[in-house]
């Protein structure tokens, strides 16, 4: 039961971060979103809000890496389509209200430690994507460069789509990334 409350608070914080950044993920906001008892916050997160945010950033990172793990052995184009599908789903299910919790924390980071924390999550995504691309026959240098471009492009496309409340910017970027994946696959 205690573990369930902690997990619920982490999931709730992750959702709040994706919608409004750290300012929208106060302890009161997390309690309201999850129905967790007030005392459980300090029990599960004795070091305060920063600890809760780090746990939510970790969870956001793991959700994405778990999905990417399922794409092991897939073609380069399929990996890109899978990555795009994750973010397309986030946008559509939230009706353009949610984006990336990791980006939200990065943008609002108030310390070098917090920036380093989010950088590690982004780097784990880039490393995993690059490994998948290498499995698909792309050279190490190109695999890493394309992984960086994919993450940066999709994060920007998510932000534009949220701002415009439309999938059009996202789909424009998606088409370009799939074209690039096809080009890399044929070399």
> Are the C-beta atoms of 15 and 57 separated by less than 8 Å?
no
Provide the 3-class DSSP secondary structure of residue 111.
Answer: coil
pLDDT at 185: 85
Is residue 1 scored above 70 in pLDDT?
A: no
- Give phi and psi for 75, each to the nearest 5: -65, 160
User: Domain with 62 in it: what CATH number?
Assistant: 1.10.357.10
Taking residues 135-145, report their average pLDDT.
Answer: 95
Number of separate domains in the chain: 1
Instruction: Provide the CB-side half-sphere exposure for 75 (13 A, CA).
Output: 10
- Show the domain range for 141: 2-185
Is residue 37 scored above 70 in pLDDT?
A: yes
In angstroms, the CA 177 to CA 183 distance is 10
Lowest pLDDT segment from 45-49, 153-157, 171-175? 45-49
Taking residues 44-49, report their average pLDDT.
Answer: 89
Supply the pTM of this predicted model: 0.92
Q: Check the CA dihedral 161-166-167-172 and report its sign.
A: negative
Instruction: Give the single-character DSSP code of 98.
Output: -
Is residue 143 scored above 80 in pLDDT?
A: yes
Is residue 54 scored above 60 in pLDDT?
A: yes
pLDDT-derived band at 2 (thresholds 50, 70, 90) equals low
Is residue 29 scored above 60 in pLDDT?
A: yes
In angstroms, the CA 167 to CA 96 distance is 9
């Amino acid at each position: 039961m205690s573990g369930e409350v902690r997990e619920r608070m982490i999931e709730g914080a992750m959702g709040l971060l994706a919608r409004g950044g750290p300012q929208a993920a106060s302890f009161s906001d997390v309690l309201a979103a999850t129905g967790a008892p007030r005392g459980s916050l300090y029990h599960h997160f004795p070091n305060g809000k920063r600890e809760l945010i780090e746990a939510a950033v970790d969870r956001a990172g793991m959700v994405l890496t778990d999905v990417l793990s399922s794409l092991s052995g897939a073609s380069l184009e399929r990996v890109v389509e899978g990555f795009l599908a994750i973010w397309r789903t986030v946008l559509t299910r939230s009706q353009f209200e949610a984006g990336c919790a990791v980006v939200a924390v990065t943008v609002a980071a108030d310390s070098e430690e917090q920036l380093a924390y989010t950088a590690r999550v982004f780097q784990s995504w880039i490393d995993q994507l690059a490994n998948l691309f290498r499995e698909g026959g792309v050279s190490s240098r190109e695999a890493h460069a394309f992984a960086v471009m994919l993450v940066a492009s999709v994060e920007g496309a998510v932000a534009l789509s949220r701002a415009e409340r439309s999938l059009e910017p996202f789909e424009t970027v998606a088409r370009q990334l799939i074209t690039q994946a096809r080009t890399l696959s044929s070399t």
